[in-house]
Amino acid sequence: MATLDRITQPSDLRGLTDAELDELAEQIRERIIAAVATHGGHLGPNLGVVELTMAIHRVFDSPADRVVFDTGHQAYVHKMLTGRAGAFDGLRTEGGLSGYPSQAESDHDVVENSHASTSLSWADGIAKANALAGRDDYVVAVIGDGALTGGMAWEAINNIAADSDRRLVVVVNDNGRSYRPTVGGLANHLASLRTNPRYEPMLRAVRDRLTSMNVVGQTAYEVLHAMKKGLKDALSPQGMFEDLGLKYVGPVDGHDREALEKALTQAKQFGGPVLVHTFTTKGHGYDIAVANEEDQMHQAKAFDRLTGTALAVEPASWTSVFRDEIVRIGDERPDVVAITAAMLSPTGLDAFADKFPERTFDVGIAEQHAVTSAAGLAFGGMHPVVAIYSTFLNRAFDQVLLDVALHRCGVTFVLDRAGVTGDDGPSHNGMWDQSILQVVPTLRLAVPRDGARLRELLNEAVAVDDAPTVVRFPKGPVDTDVEAIDRLGGCDVLAREGDSDVLIVAAGPMAAVALDAAQRLREHGLGVTVVDPRWVKPLDPALVDAAAEHRLVVSVEDSGRVGGMGSVLAQMLADAAVTTPIRVHGVSQEFFDHAKRAVLLERMGLTGEAVAADALQRLG
């Protein structure tokens, strides 16, 4: 039996020899590569934390000692060492392992999402609860992949450093990257240390000296501190943390398990908040990933493990359409600038950045700053386009409301991965933005149904200079263009046949579902009109007049039902005293387990067959 398959809990690691531990590290990497090559997932981040995770679980006692990962996509090794290695064949598949920590899977898991920069606040709260309950357990927060660029992390550090008696260890997994190299002043400061040719020899000398003196714990810290005096400002970032009152250990080679265990043991002996600084390399142990300059295979599609190339040619995606169009707009509009939060390539802004580097701002994992900075750019005469994942806009709602909308700033938000995304689980489904943004005065929100409409609506959005605009689209291949046959106010009529029995109002990509439902209803002798409103906030009043002429109104959207297009349309009909009944089809406000997008949509009743069946039942 492989060493990995004998590990059922972290305590099993403590009985292994050095040779067995080296063998275990190789087996972990092999299992991760095999699983991600088959199902896709986060490869680079997890290959980079193998020795680090092993060391944490050998020094600390999970689940009594809580290990919190930030970001959660670097927890594959943790899953393997807590008894789930045998389930990795089903990684990110329906009913199989989640790609993130999951409390339903294991008592060893804590934070279930990958919204970065939250781990330190979680750890701070757990440590305080331990102290209040009289528990002596430790909390270990592993923060990496650029998450220290998020302001929330520094709010937490400010509070952690103030509590000198909390048993809390912050492990900084410093790999210099999120998707791409981490940006900002902090990143530059840490990078200068990482590349300083003088530091490693000094660090080894200090470590050897302490070992020869058999100095440990608080005394070791004091000796180390004294030996570094006069050098820390030039060579080490420890002053940045120690000036706050937070003890600092490191930097440590994140692929040297023995050195990591010594550092973590030293940190544990302090009995108070400590920061352990480690250097790791994304993709370590798989040369193809390390050599990938784009993102070191941060999040990979299924691939050929011998070459690293994707197994399937990806069709044109919504993101690629946006990528091309924003560059064309940039050519015509010198005032258009682009902002993203550590996601240039995933959101399609990489091509704009290549052509207009001086007009592109990657602010790191700092969505709140991104939005308010965009307000400032708009105030200064620019038109910012803020491109982020839909689910991450939630973090900056107050800034959208009070910094952008209140000040009538012309800022365009492009929300990728809007609607149901599927494989990455509940934290990544972009099903909240439309409901949240519905309450923002003056904001306009567009939902394109295909590539042609994405280009069209993006151009309309950036033409608005006195209010925020939003363009949202889903993950995956872009839909085939569907041309309108007529106009209804500002809406597109996609189909009209027979009597005025059913009016189907479909938001963006749900046009295909609506047209399928319409065909099924026509087969039952019903007349159907299908309309795409294009802009779902505000909805065109022409829809109210059209609804009054039909026997039933049906709305279909890949968004939350509460505060979504359908609920707004229902309110508009009620306000206008239109008595035509309305059926609202959308995403219920709940957290959905990971599964393919098509599977989840079918489960939610967002298919042509389900929508038609419901309409037939309502009409008797």
Q: Residue 105 has which token pair? A: 């899977």
73 has binding-site annotation: yes
Place of tokens 């290990």: 67
367 has binding-site annotation: yes
Residue 464's contacts (CB-CB under 8 Å, 6 or more residues apart) are 410, 412, 444
Q: Report residue 46: phi and psi, to 5°.
A: -80, -35
What is the C-alpha to C-alpha distance for residues 168 and 151, in angstroms, rounded to an integer? 20
567 has binding-site annotation: no
| CA 130 to chain centroid | 29
Q: Which amino acid type is present at position 277? A: H
**Which bin fits 6, alpha (ψ -120 to 50), beta or left (φ > 0)?**
alpha
Strand-pair category, 491-497 with 528-532: antiparallel
383 has binding-site annotation: no
The closest of 341, 254, 280, 303 to 56, measured between CA atoms, is 254
146 has binding-site annotation: yes
179 has binding-site annotation: no
What is the C-alpha to C-alpha distance for residues 11 and 5, in angstroms, rounded to an integer? 14
Alpha helices, DSSP H only, in 440-575?
A: 451-462, 511-522, 542-548, 565-575
Contact yes or no for 382/164 (Cβ under 8 A): no
Contact yes or no for 185/366 (Cβ under 8 A): no
Residue-wise DSSP of 333-386 = -TTEEEEESS-TTTTT-HHHHHH-GGGEEE--S-HHHHHHHHHHHHHTT-EEEE
| CA 536 to chain centroid | 25
Q: Residue 302 has which token pair? A: 């299924």
145 has binding-site annotation: yes
What is the C-alpha to C-alpha distance for residues 212 and 214, in angstroms, rounded to an integer? 5
| Bridge partner residues of 340 (DSSP) | 362
- Catalytic (active-site) positions: 282, 367, 395
286 has binding-site annotation: yes
Per DSSP, 316 falls in state P
What's the order of all strands across the beta sheet hosting 383-389? 360-362, 336-340, 383-389, 412-416, 469-472, 444-446, 535-537
- State the binding site for Mg(2+): 145, 175
- State the binding site for thiamine diphosphate: 73, 114-116, 146-147, 175, 286, 367
- State the binding site: 73, 114-116, 145-147, 175, 286, 367
